[in-house]
Amino acid sequence: MTPRIPWRLGVKGTSSTRRSAERLVVAATMGPTVHSVHAWRFTVVPGLIEVRADPDRFRATGDPTGRRLHLSCGAALVNLRLAAAQLGREAVVRLLPDPSSPALLATVRVSGRHRVTRLERLLYAATLRPLPSAGGGTAANDPLPSAVLTELAESARLEGVTLHHLPADGLVPQRVVLTTRGSAPADWLRAGQALQRVLLSAATRSVVARFRFQAYGDVSWNVLEVVQPGDVPQVFLELRQDRRSLLKAAVHREHEGQRHWQRIG
């Protein structure tokens, strides 16, 4: 499919800068959508990509604090970083760099050379394919292997977020919750980055992941059993093994190095 042009992309600089920036920004739009539209815009200025909240697209209904906006933007930042890695460049992210301008959610500086890792190739390849779907009765409620849960927890930890898993009984999917140590806008951005990394890591393991941002009123989500004092739940996920993919790799080797621009989901 032909990728859509990034929303509200302003590019200043040479033609090569424009091409590189557009590739990275298209990748950034592959994050999970929690608004009906992506309520941010990207602007390339000398040496930086700025990510700003877009007041013309933001809808406060259902998200009065902008929390979901920050979570979704954080997810987009992970895709941008992975795309930069495929180009052999390091993407240095600063969250909320200007306290006097809260609409400036982050800046990204594409700096020196970076040796892309196999894990980065796998995660990037996962952004090029639809995420595993729970439709058709193909997902099992069996507890996930401890190695998979450990890998997903490490994915969250790399973004400064903790993944807690609730005890599994086989009657419901494996449930996990992402927490931060605070609930400020920077914490929401970190949680969004962790969410995207966990979703991509799950996809490489043929794990179906469904997420939501609150579980109030659902007594089965007893997160007090697993979280520590001071932890703030940010994202709730249900994880199932995709039976259709148990006997085949979720991300094939031939996809690892390809550079297509296609929305996931």
What pLDDT is stored for residue 218 in this prediction? 60
Model confidence at 154: pLDDT above 90: yes
245 and 206 in contact (C-beta within 8 Å)? Answer: yes
Helix axes of 15-28 and 67-86: crossing angle, nearest 10 degrees: 130
- The confidence band for 198, taking pLDDT boundaries of 50, 70 and 90, is very high
What pLDDT is stored for residue 37 in this prediction? 63
- The confidence band for 64, taking pLDDT boundaries of 50, 70 and 90, is confident
Predicted TM-score (pTM) of the model is: 0.82
Helix, strand, coil % over all residues of the chain, rounded to 5: 35, 25, 45
Residue-averaged pLDDT of the chain? 79
- The confidence band for 148, taking pLDDT boundaries of 50, 70 and 90, is very high
Which pair of structure tokens corresponds to residue 232?
């703030």
Which pair of structure tokens corresponds to residue 67?
């929390």
Q: Which of 114-118, 144-148, 196-200, 216-220 has the lowest mean pLDDT?
A: 216-220
Q: How far is CA 100 from CA 41, 103, 186, in A?
A: 18, 9, 14
Model confidence at 264: pLDDT above 50: no
pLDDT, average across residues 206-222: 76
CATH code that applies to domain 10-116? 3.40.109.10
**Which of left, alpha, beta for 115 (phi over 0: left; psi -120 to 50: alpha)?**
beta
What pLDDT is stored for residue 112 in this prediction? 82
88 and 113 in contact (C-beta within 8 Å)? Answer: yes
Superfamily of domain 136-245: NADH Oxidase (3.40.109.10)
12-51 pLDDT, tens per residue?
455 666 677 777 887 777 655 555 567 788 888 887 899 9
Q: Which residue has the higher pLDDT, 244 or 226?
A: 226
Model confidence at 140: pLDDT above 60: yes
3-state secondary structure of 164: strand
Model confidence at 126: pLDDT above 50: yes
Model confidence at 87: pLDDT above 70: yes
91 and 175 in contact (C-beta within 8 Å)? Answer: no
CA distance between the termini of the chain: 13
3-state secondary structure of 113: strand
Helices (H), 87-145: 118-126
Start-end of CATH 3.40.109.10 domains in the chain: 10-116, 136-245
96 and 186 in contact (C-beta within 8 Å)? Answer: yes
Q: Which of 87-101, 123-137, 162-176 has the lowest mean pLDDT?
A: 123-137
Amino acid at 93: V
Which pair of structure tokens corresponds to residue 98?
């200007």
Q: Which of 37-41, 72-76, 174-178, 197-201 has the lowest mean pLDDT?
A: 37-41
H or E element that contains 93: strand 89-95
